[in-house]
Structure 1
C-alpha cells in the first residue's frame, strides 16, 4: 500500500495533486488509472487529459471559484473534467444524468454554473441554461475540439485547504436537491481511513462501482479511492443492470466491487439460476452502502459467491463511509464500527446521549463534513450543528461498538406505545425465499391506530401469500410488529441512488383498502 495521509500538508492544497500528479512525479505514470471498453488510460495519459480539460475551461472564460456543471455518463471525459476543473481552481458540480428536466434546470440555476460539460444525448434537456457549453459526442463535439487545442501542461492552482473543491447535489429521500459544498481538504480525512482500515487498497487493485460517478458513493468508489491509492478504476458508460454488471465483472475482473442492496438482491437472483459459474471469482471484497444490507441478503450473497460484503454507513454530507464492517469481523445486518478519527453520538428524544442498546438519532463528528448546503440556510442550521452532523438516521450502538440501523427519524413509528423499526420487519420478510424486496411503513387502521404495512416484491415465479408472511413475522418478532396488511407490488419507489422512498408508500392511500390483509398493485 502506498503511504497515504489524512491531512493536507499545508494551508495551500489542491486535491488534484495527490490524485494524479503525485503518481506521475513518483514514477508511476505508466500504471493503469482508468479501464474502459475502448482503452486503458495510464496515469501519465490521464494527467495530460486533465491538464487539457483545465486549460480548455480557462480558454472558455472560466475563472477560479466558478462552478462547472458536469452532466456526463461515467468515463474518462467525466474524470478529466472533474479533476481538471478542480486543478485550475474552479469547482466541479456533477449532476445526475437521470434527473428530470425540472431538476436539471433547478441544479444548474441554483449552482450558477459558469460552464456545462454535457453529453450530446442530454443537450435538449438543458439547452440555454449555462453561458458556456462543451458537448461530448454528437455532431457538435466541442469538448473534443477544445481539448485538442488546449495545452497538456497545467500547474495546480494554489487553492486553500478550506476552499470549495466540489459540490454534489444530495438526492435524499424527500424534498428538493441540496447542494452539498465540500472543501479541498475533506477527502483525505474520509477516504484514507477507509483505504487503510477497510479495503486495504493496493496499486494492483481494480475497482468497479455500480453506483455512478455523480453520486457521492460512486465518486469515491471510482475516482477518489482508486486514484488516491494509485490503483485503477473500471468505468462503463452504460447503466449497470444485472446483465451488464455481470458482463463487466467477467471481462475486467475487478478486485473490489461496490454496489447497493437492491443490486445485490438482483445479482443473487440471477446467480441462483446459474449452474457452477462464479462470475465474482476475481473479487476479494464486496462493499455495500446507500441503505442497510439486510442479514438474509448478506448470507445469500456469501453462499453464492464466497465473498464478504462489507456494509457501511456514509453520507454525501460526510463525504464517504465513516462506519463500516471490517474484513473477517462482519456482523450481518449491522453498519459496522466507526473508522479513522470519526466520532458518534446516539441522541435520544430529550437531546441526551443514549446508552448502548438504546435507540436515538445518530450524530457524527468528521473532519470531512461539508461546509453547508448552498442557498439553504435553515436546512444547514438543522443539519450542521457546530462540529456535529445530524444524520437523520436512528441507530442503536451495541456494547462492542457496532451500529444497528433502526430507520430514518420519520420512518420509525409506534405500535401499541412501542417503537417499531421498519428494517427489523423487512429483514424478517427477506428471510423468506420467495421475497425479493420489501419495504414497511406505518399506516392507520380503522380506529386510527398505527400498524405496520408491508409492500413486497415476489421473486419471479413465486406465489407466497400475505398470510404466510404474516405468520413468519409473528414467529420471529414480537406480536405487535407483524404487518397487518401485505401489498404485493412490481416495484418500489426509489431515489436515483436506490434508496426506498417510504414517504411515497405512505402517501399511496390514507389507509389500506377496506382493512384487507393482502392486495396486488401493478
Structure 2
C-alpha cells in the first residue's frame, strides 16, 4: 500500500492512505478505551464521510462486529432495532477519530494489529451487520462474516479489474451492501474511492465535480445515478470528464430503455453491466449489456450466475422449473449471510437443500426459450383484483411503455365494492397533454381487464424515491389523492 496515494476523494479534497490509517488508528484507540463487550455489536449511525469510513475500518481491524443502520431511520425504529440487536451505539465519527494524541493513535493501531496477528481474522466471525429496507416493518438484520466479505471483494476486484490505480465512484449510502464493491473492495486493493456526499447525491454538479477532480474508472449505481449523470453532461468539459469510465454497473432497480439510451454515447469507453442481488446474498447475477440490443425480450436481463452462485426457479407449487416459464428465484452464493440475526425470521426465507442453504428472493423471474432470465416483479406485489392475480410491477411496466410516461407506481388500494382496486400514479413527460382515459385505453391492449388501473392520477413531478433511488411506493401512496381524501378521476374498468 502506498501511504501517499489517495484513498478517498471527498468534496474537492483527497484523503491519503496515511491519513486514513491515522484516522482509523485514532478510532481504534477510542473504541478500545470504551471497553465494548466482546462479541456484542457496535452500531454506527452516521452518514458517509472519511471519518465514518475510518471507524468502520477500525472495527474491522479490532474484530468488532459493526451494525450499520440507515441514519435516516426514525428515532423509535432505530431504538427498537438497536434493542433487538443488543447493540451499543457509538459516538459520532468525528468524536471517535479526533482529539487523540500520537501515542494514543499508535496504541490503537497496535491493539488492532494484535487482533489480526498470527492466523489472521476468523472467516466465520461476523464483521458487518447490514439491514434490509424495512419496507414491511422493522428492518431485518443481515450479518456478514469476514469470509463472506473477503470472498466478495476477491470476486469484484477480479471481475472489474480494481487495483491500486483504480478510482471507483461510491454513490450509495454507507449502510448499503453496494458499498462492499464501491468502498471495501476498492480500499482492500489500494484504489481510490470517489465519495458522493449523501446530502448532495441528487446534485448533478456535485457528481460531475468528482469526475473532473480525478478520472473515474468504475461506476456503480441505481438508474437514478445515470439519469443525473445524463443531466450533468451539458458541456464539452463534462462530456470529457465522463469519457474515462471503463465499467458502468447498473444495480438496485430495473433501468428503462429510455434511461439507458443516452449512456453509450455518454460513457463511450465503458463496458456496461447489469447486476442483480439482495442484501442477504450480495450480488448473484451479472449481465453484460449489449448497447445495440439492451432490452431483449422487452426488459434488461438479470444475467447469469456469477462465479460460485447456484440458482433455481420454483414454480407456484414449489416444484423446480426446468424449462421456460415464470418462477420465484432461489439462490445460494459464496457471499451470503448464514441467516438473519433473529433466527425466527429465517423460516420460509432460507431453505436447506442437499448442496447447501438457499435464499428465497421473493422475486419472480421469467426464463425465456433462449435461457435468458428477466425480472418480472415481486411475489409480494401480486394482488387479487376481482379474483384475478395481478402483478403490479407488470402493470407499471405497461404504463411506462407509453412514450409520454416517465415513470409510474401502481398501488393496490382498498375498495368497498371490489375489495381491491388498482390506482396508478403516473409522471407524464414535460408538456405532455396525456390524460388518464387515453393512457388506460393504451394499456388495455397490453393487459388483462383486471390489471387495468381503475383510476389514474397524473403528475408532472418526479415520484418519491428512497435514498438510493428506488421507487418509494409508501411515499407515493402518502402523497396520492387517496391519502389526501380526494377522489381521482374514475372511468369504467377496461375502457
Tell me which interval the TM-score lies in, with the shorter structure as reference length.
0.7 to 0.9
* Secondary structure of the corresponding residue to residue 364 of structure 2: strand
1:316-352 deviations in Å (ceiling 9; x for gaps) = 111x221121265874322222111101111122111
Cα deviation for residue 183 of structure 1 reads 0.7
In structure 2, the CA distance between the partners of 1:267 and 1:469, relative to structure 1 (3 Å rule), is farther
* Secondary structure of the corresponding residue to residue 90 of structure 2: strand
Cα deviation for residue 174 of structure 1 reads 1.9
Match of 1:369 among 336, 344, 362: 336
Residue 310, structure 1, aligned to residue 310, structure 2? no
1:97-151 deviations in Å (ceiling 9; x for gaps) = 2222222222333332335132xxxxxxxxxxxxxxxx52xxxx46401475321
Cα deviation for residue 495 of structure 1 reads 4.1
In structure 2, the CA distance between the partners of 1:294 and 1:351, relative to structure 1 (3 Å rule), is same
2:105 equivalent in structure 1: 150
Residue 215, structure 1, aligned to residue 170, structure 2? no
1:253 equivalent in structure 2: 215
Structure 1: how far apart are the matches of 2:445 and 2:236?
34
Residue 354, structure 1, aligned to residue 321, structure 2? yes
* Secondary structure of the corresponding residue to residue 33 of structure 1: strand
Residue 500, structure 1, aligned to residue 471, structure 2? yes
Which piece of structure 1 moves more, 286-295 or 303-312? 303-312
* Secondary structure of the corresponding residue to residue 98 of structure 2: helix
2:193 equivalent in structure 1: 233
In structure 2, the CA distance between the partners of 1:86 and 1:272, relative to structure 1 (3 Å rule), is closer
In structure 2, the CA distance between the partners of 1:326 and 1:193, relative to structure 1 (3 Å rule), is farther
* Secondary structure of the corresponding residue to residue 161 of structure 1: coil
In structure 2, the CA distance between the partners of 1:443 and 1:99, relative to structure 1 (3 Å rule), is closer
1:10 equivalent in structure 2: none
Cα deviation for residue 421 of structure 1 reads 3.9
1:440 equivalent in structure 2: 410
1:271-295 deviations in Å (ceiling 9; x for gaps) = 5877895252222222222222233
In structure 2, the CA distance between the partners of 1:451 and 1:360, relative to structure 1 (3 Å rule), is farther
Task: Please say if residues 356 and 396 of structure 1, whose CA atoms lie closer than 8 Å, have aligned partners that are also in contact.
Answer: no
1:6 equivalent in structure 2: none
Match of 2:400 among 430, 439, 442: 430
1:321 equivalent in structure 2: 283
TM-score by length of 2: 0.83
* Secondary structure of the corresponding residue to residue 197 of structure 2: coil
Which piece of structure 1 moves more, 460-469 or 400-409? 460-469
Cα deviation for residue 245 of structure 1 reads 2.1
Cα deviation for residue 313 of structure 1 reads 1.2
* Secondary structure of the corresponding residue to residue 318 of structure 2: coil
2:309 equivalent in structure 1: 342
Task: Please say if residues 356 and 397 of structure 1, whose CA atoms lie closer than 8 Å, have aligned partners that are also in contact.
Answer: yes
* Secondary structure of the corresponding residue to residue 185 of structure 1: helix
Q: Aligned runs of 1:116-135 on 2, under 5 Å?
A: 116-118=90-92
1:378 equivalent in structure 2: 344
Structure 2: how far apart are the matches of 1:300 and 1:421?
29
1:21 equivalent in structure 2: none
1:43 equivalent in structure 2: 17
Task: Please say if residues 280 and 336 of structure 2, whose CA atoms lie closer than 8 Å, have aligned partners that are also in contact.
Answer: yes
Cα deviation for residue 180 of structure 1 reads 1.1
Which piece of structure 1 moves more, 365-374 or 489-498? 489-498
In structure 2, the CA distance between the partners of 1:417 and 1:486, relative to structure 1 (3 Å rule), is same
Task: Please say if residues 364 and 391 of structure 1, whose CA atoms lie closer than 8 Å, have aligned partners that are also in contact.
Answer: yes
In structure 2, the CA distance between the partners of 1:142 and 1:415, relative to structure 1 (3 Å rule), is closer
1:367-409 deviations in Å (ceiling 9; x for gaps) = 22212222x3332223222301111111112344432111111
Structure 2: how far apart are the matches of 1:192 and 1:299?
32
* Secondary structure of the corresponding residue to residue 211 of structure 2: helix
In structure 2, the CA distance between the partners of 1:350 and 1:117, relative to structure 1 (3 Å rule), is same
In structure 2, the CA distance between the partners of 1:322 and 1:441, relative to structure 1 (3 Å rule), is same
Which piece of structure 1 moves more, 444-453 or 338-347? 444-453
Structure 1: how far apart are the matches of 2:439 and 2:184?
43
1:73 equivalent in structure 2: 47
Cα deviation for residue 79 of structure 1 reads 1.5
1:91 equivalent in structure 2: 65
Which piece of structure 1 moves more, 247-256 or 85-94? 247-256
Residue 31, structure 1, aligned to residue 5, structure 2? yes
Cα deviation for residue 168 of structure 1 reads 1.2
Structure 2: how far apart are the matches of 1:398 and 1:371?
31
1:188 equivalent in structure 2: 150
Higher relative contact order (CA 8 A, sep 6+): 1
